[in-house]
Amino acid sequence: MIRRLLRSREAILLLVLIALFAVLAVKVEGFFDAYNLLERTRYWVAPGLLAAAMTFVIATGGIDLSVASVLALCGIVMGMRRRDAGWPMPAAAGAALAAGLAAGAANGAVISRIQVPPLVVTLATMSLFRGAAMGLSQAKAIGDFPPGFLWLGQGSLCKVPGTGANPADLPVPLVILLAVYALAWALMHRSWVGRFTELIGENETAARFAAIDVRRLKFALYASVGLLCGFAALLHTAIYATAKADTAAGMELEAITCVVVGGTRISGGHASIVGTLLGLAILGILRFGLEMAGVSSQNIIILVGIVLVATAIINERLGRSAVR
Amino acid sequence: MEPPILTLTDIDMSFGGAPALRRASLRVLPGEVHGLVGENGAGKSTLINIATGLFRPDGGVMEVAGEAVRLGSPPDAAKLGISVVHQEADLFSQLSIAENMLLARGLVRGPAGLIDWPGTYREAERMAGVLGEELDVRRQAGGLTVARRMMAEIAAAVGGGAARVLFLDEPTASLTQNESAHLFEQVRRLRDAGVGIVYVSHRLDEVLEICDRITVMRDGHTVETRPAGDCTVDSLVAAMVGREMHLETGPRGGSEGEVRLEVTGASGSGGAFRDVSLQVRAGEVLGLYGFVGAGRSELAQALFGLEPLAAGSATIDGAPLRAGSPREAVDAGLAYLPEDRLVQGVFRTHPLRTNASVAILRRLSRFGLVRGGREREQTRSIIDEMRVRSTSMEQAIGTLSGGNQQKVVFGRWSATNPKVLILDEPTRGVDVGAKAEIHRLIRDLARAGTAVLLISSDLPEVMALSDRVSTMSQGRITGTFDPVKDGEKAIASAAVPRASGADSGTEARATNGRATDGRGTNGSATGGDTAAKGGRLPAMRELGIVAFIVALAVVMTALKPGEFATRQNLVDILANAAMPAIVAQGAILIICAGGIDISVGSVLGLCSAVAATAARGGAPPALCLGLAMGLGCAAGALNAATSLLARIHPIIVTLAGISIYRGLLVTFTGGKDIQELPHAYRMLADGNLLGVPKVVIYVLVITFVAHLVLTRTLAGRRVLALGGSETAARLIGLSKARLTLFVFGVSGLLVGLTAVLDTAYYGSVQANTGEGMEMKAIAAAVIGGTNIMGGRGSALGGLLGAFLVAMVYNALVLLAVSSFWQNLFVGLLILLAVTSDTLLRRKGAAR
């Protein structure tokens, strides 16, 4: 049992996470501070939500490069509805969700109906949705959101007991993120939806012959991803208190990196939600530690890219020797 | 007796620990037709692949004309005169027949090493002439019938004159009778010319007819080699299975039950089957016998909702079956066991449990959640009922034997308790034991009241299991028989395709998996190949862009007369089109090879910064250019190498590259702009030459060279071949790694060059220099007709595409649309180009 556990991807990732944490705690001054660490997790929330969505997309053997652009667009739609159209905050948030759903459905329609490869479709819409966000907002930031809304990103539920003299707050968005991951886990690993998602990625033809409604599932998948991007836009906007068209640039790469690090097979067929969450934590902690150590943000971006590519190479080399 | 031309002795080969060949030996004499028979999985294909250089054996000796040889790749074998023609001739459907014939063996080249197309066509015609075949070698290979493609391949294999051994792998599997007869004629002719021919086939009567000697394989061994005269079908079968095989004939269920499946006047949308009517009663097994391509699988798949029915109807227990999808068919009580287990049946790396439960998974769920206990229970009962041999239900199904895999897929469907079960070649490629068990299961199901439609090309199986047998040929039901009263002969002859058949769209559709045109043939060997329309398409595309550009120009002149139609504005458009046009030429090359690079914008920025810094430091312009191009080339090669090593799509590698190279740029410049570049450097791109902006001249020269590379050089043709079909490219020994490095490297050189031109023209480098360039270049490429999936590209189209993109940008500026919308338009252009391309191609394929 223990041997099987040790051979599992998730166990290895957990060990890496603990080791990384220990090294950073010893080497980097100011890193090991519960308050700072927990506050920091607010910035994981948007990439974390995109990564959860991306896990499903990659499990089908697809990819969605447009997620960060959709997020930016949804934030702008929400901000403009509120500022220019004078909509109440809940209605504006609803508009953001609707925009996300529409954007995702557009991706899904072209991918599942016209059967253009997702790579190409979402490469085009990555530019298209970003352009829409830039054009609509004329690249100006939109702020002035009500405190109740900002609470979603900046609020805390309670103090975390046992965290010393400066007790840490439990961030609202972290709780939401974990709840979404719990749902995603159940959906991926305990429901027929997740099973079918993986089977489509393993062998799409066989999935059709096994009476899985591949087209409908794919359409629903990309549409849901859009919806989740809209939801991520709410939290992201609340955390930063502004909606900006150029926000979350490169976040699709972060999301893909979390998924690949987490052990989901890049060509589809096998996915791990827990792995993606661990990937998110590893990347987040690495980033935080390096920032605390004074590494420039440019170099950290370089590092994220290298982590992605290196893990992909390791996966490929290890994967070939394993049974699968 | 002459000494053998090819000898394989004691060849061993295993894949991942599973032995495929065990001390297999084969001796081929010159001027003989040597039959190679055996059940699926006996090792025939592996032996062929070793003899033709695709695999390297673990042990054993190969000799050609008495000399020991070691083959590294298929071209090595070809040099020794050893070639293979595969059953599904895997050609490059986008290339011409002549190019397909000569790509591996050497296209005719003229001055400067450029390909001489007329010479190549003449050479291909000459090779076809050796066989006495008349082929229009200029035509695209995609539109040919299987028979014609095979002749082209044989002509290519022997036409060079050095052919010594020719392997034919299941050559007649998809041929009509006349086509087969023609093939035999050619085989005999080659034999008489001294070629050693190895003829691999399941059709034992054919093997006995054409072969001089026959080698039988079983379980990776070569069991025996005997003169064909000493063999009979029975003796061959006995040697293949290791014992005389007697199919148990079970008690027949009879035809007394209610009609469960009734099909009336059904026709397929592609013409694969026409006006099919049949009935299957409860407890009855209706055999549907016919050859590959008779339209049986297409009928089954249409009933199962995978393809639409063009006409006719079906009912299950009297209720109309209108299956728009397999799920609806399953809900109506239909189940379908597909014919190709590996492609259509199993999820190879998933556990046995997942494979067994997939069709009933929703039924086993509550609120969407799968009830694990019930799933295991069901799987257990499927394993028991089917007698699947496995260590655990969590074992990956790919690790089971073929027979056990098939039993699991069978169990998947029987677990749905179907009213009607369609079985498509249920025992193809399974061992004898599993075959007997599957037969038992079929009888049990029928006895329990299921109506079974048994599609099989295995006549003894059909005879043993069926209560009635319908024969199908060329898409039509040609008769219905009582197997006991009417006997094998009547059934077999009713299934034989008639050569005069007027409407055999069936053949072409069913067999030309990759063919572009379903109109088919008239069934004879000289039959009508379908016209290749693809050749005209690119030219039309380029005219279309020109028309669009002219229309846009007219509109803009009307809207903004004083601003659009000015010399300065035209120069601006040209200059703005120039940089993306150069980058696009690299992108086209990469996309043609089946890749993509979205990091070029960042690489461009990085190269710009390095070149500009060097220029300010006093380096001569030529050195700056060399630095930038070298750096660009290195970045491209790094992208390619990483993608190859990690086996991930280059779009993901280069997505990472976007931030990596941009990060390096910012680190290098410290985030500061670089300005005030030396005059000599600026003069590289600034100013005019003969009254035309220099950059325009550069673009024209580069486009012309790129055009030559794509159309007239071996490297360019290889790139197109690789992008068209990776499998076919591997078979002719093209190295994916080398070609990928080549295209990314060349693209990098062009990016480096563009970086220098860009900085020289605009005179500065910022942190965001080059941003968005990748999208403009890709837009230019796909608008210009380059197929985003690879295999087709046009340099001239790319230039026009870049010009169109620049014009759209210019129009937006003149119409005072804010530049913030630009990304939306470039994304929209890409999406429109790719979507319309896909739709047009699909329309072309459906025609």
Per-residue burial over A50-68, b = 16 or more CB atoms within 10 Å of its CB, e = otherwise: bbbbbbbbbbbbbbbbbbb
pLDDT value at residue A93: 97
What's the whole-number mean pLDDT along residues B349-362?
94
In a domain, A312, yes or no: yes
| Cα(A119)–Cα(B800) distance, integer angstroms | 24
Mutate which of A127, A246, A308 to test chain B, going by most B C-beta atoms within 10 A? A127
Q: Which of B330, B655, B827 sits opposite A131 (nearest CB)?
A: B827
Q: SS3 for B621?
A: helix
- pLDDT tens across B31-88, in order? 999 999 887 667 888 899 899 888 889 999 999 988 899 888 887 888 888 988 876 6
B840/A contact by beta carbon, under 8 A: no
For chain A, what is the domain count?
1
Mean pLDDT, all residues of chain B: 86
Task: Tell me what pLDDT residue B40 has.
Answer: 63
pTM: 0.86
Q: What is the pLDDT of residues B92-138, one digit of tens each?
A: 888 888 888 888 777 888 888 899 999 999 988 888 887 777 788 88
- As a whole number, mean pLDDT of residues B485-494 equals 81
pLDDT tens digit string along B213-241? 999 998 788 999 999 999 887 788 778 76
Give yes or no for B838 touching A (CB within 8 A). yes
Which region among B21-30, B94-103, B370-379, B589-598 has the lowest average model confidence (pLDDT)?
A: B94-103
Maximum Cα–Cα distance across chain A: 62
What span, in angstroms and rounded, lies between the C-alpha atoms of A51 and A185?
Answer: 13
Give pLDDT, residue B130: 79
Residue B264 CB partners (closer than 8 Å, separation 6+): B277, B312, B313, B314
Residue A202 within any structural domain of the chain: yes
Q: Is residue A121 part of a domain?
A: yes
Mean pLDDT of B180-200: 90
Task: Kindly determine whether residue A63 and residue B651, on different chains, have CB atoms separated by under 8 Å.
Answer: yes
pLDDT tier for residue B285 given thresholds of 50, 70 and 90: very high
pLDDT(A168) > 70: yes
Whether residue A283 is predicted with pLDDT greater than 70 in this model: the reply is yes
The two three-digit tokens of residue B34, written as one number? 């040597």
Q: Does B598 touch chain A (CB under 8 A)?
A: yes
SS3 B398: helix
What value does the mean pLDDT of chain A take?
91
Percent of chain B with pLDDT over 70: 91
Where residue B544 falls among pLDDT bands split at 50, 70, 90?
confident
Of B327, B826, B839, the CB nearest to A213: B327
- Which residues of chain B lie closer than 8 angstroms to A139, CB-CB? 820
Residue B504 has pLDDT above 60, yes or no: no
Hey, what are A82's tokens?
């509120």
Which of B:755-784 have CB within 8 Å of A?
Answer: 772, 775, 778
In angstroms, the CA B534 to CA B512 distance is 16
Three-class SS state of B267: strand
- Which residue would you say has higher pLDDT here, B194 or B132? B194
Domain contains A314: yes
Task: Please indicate, yes or no, if residue A225 is contained in any of the structural domains.
Answer: yes
Q: Is the pLDDT of residue B534 over 50?
A: no
How high is the pLDDT of residue B545? 87
pLDDT of residue B680 exceeding 50, the answer is yes
- Taking 50 as the threshold, does the pLDDT of residue B515 lie above it? no
* Residue A2 domain-assigned (yes or no): no
Please say whether the structural domain B568-838 has been given the CATH code 1.25.40.80.
no
CB contacts, 8 Å: B828 with chain A: 124, 128
User: B59-64 and B6-15: which strand pairing?
Assistant: antiparallel
Does A299 sit within 8 Å of B652, measured CB to CB? no
pLDDT at A279: 94
- Segment B706-741, tens digit of pLDDT: 999 999 999 999 999 999 988 888 888 888 999 999
For the residues A20-48, what does the mean pLDDT come to? 89
* Closest chain A C-alpha to B783 CA, distance in angstroms: 13
Give me the domain span that covers residue A293. 9-156+167-319
Architecture of domain B6-90+145-241: 3-Layer(aba) Sandwich (3.40)
Arithmetic mean of pLDDT, A262-286: 93
For the stretch B136-176, pLDDT in tens is 888 888 777 777 888 888 888 887 777 899 999 888 766 77
Tokens of B710: 């794509």
pLDDT (0 to 100) of residue A322: 43
Beta strands in B632-716 (DSSP E): 688-689, 692-693
Task: From chain B, pick out residues whose CB is under 8 angstroms from the CB of A128.
Answer: 823-824, 827-828, 831
Neighboring chain B residues of A205 at a CB cutoff of 8 Å: 343-344
- CATH code for position A247: 1.10.3470
Residue B336, chain A, CB below 8 Å: the answer is: yes
Task: Kindly state whether residue A275 falls inside one of the protein's structural domains.
Answer: yes
Residue B517 has pLDDT above 80, yes or no: no
Q: Residue B34 to residues A196, A273, A318, B234: CA-CA distances in angstroms? A: 47, 56, 43, 19
- What is the pLDDT confidence band of residue A118, given thresholds at 50, 70 and 90? very high
- Given a cut of 60, whether residue B405 has pLDDT beyond it is yes
pLDDT-derived band at B510, boundaries 50, 70, 90: very low
Mean local confidence (pLDDT), B269-276: 87
- Among B172, B184, B146, B178, residue whose Cα is nearest residue B499: B178
Element housing B197 (H / E): strand B196-200
CA distance B818 to chain A (A): 7
pLDDT at A316: 73
Q: With an 8 Å Cβ cutoff, is B18 touching chain A?
A: no
Whether B557 contacts chain A with CB within 8 A = no
- Residue ranges, CATH 1.10.3470.10, chain B: 568-838
CATH (one of 3.40.50.300, 3.10.450.50, 1.20.120.1460, 3.90.1280.20) for B259-511: 3.40.50.300
pLDDT-based confidence at B524, cuts 50/70/90?
very low
Most confident of A97-111, B278-292, B338-352: A97-111
More confident residue, B106 or B546: B546
pLDDT in tens, B773-816: 999 999 999 999 899 888 889 999 999 999 999 999 999 999 98
Does residue A324 belong to any structural domain of this protein?
Answer: no
User: Sign (positive/negative) of CA torsion B618, B624, B626, B628?
Assistant: positive
Per the structure block, which two tokens stand in for B216?
């039988």
Q: Which residues on chain B are in Cβ contact (under 8 Å) with A65?
A: 651, 655
Q: How far is B409 from chain A (nearest CA, A)?
A: 9
Banded model confidence at residue B403, pLDDT cuts 50, 70, 90: confident
Q: What is the pLDDT of residue B499?
A: 44
**Domain(s) of CATH 3.40.50.300: residues in chain B:** 6-90+145-241, 259-511
Sign of CA dihedral A105, A108, A113, A116: positive
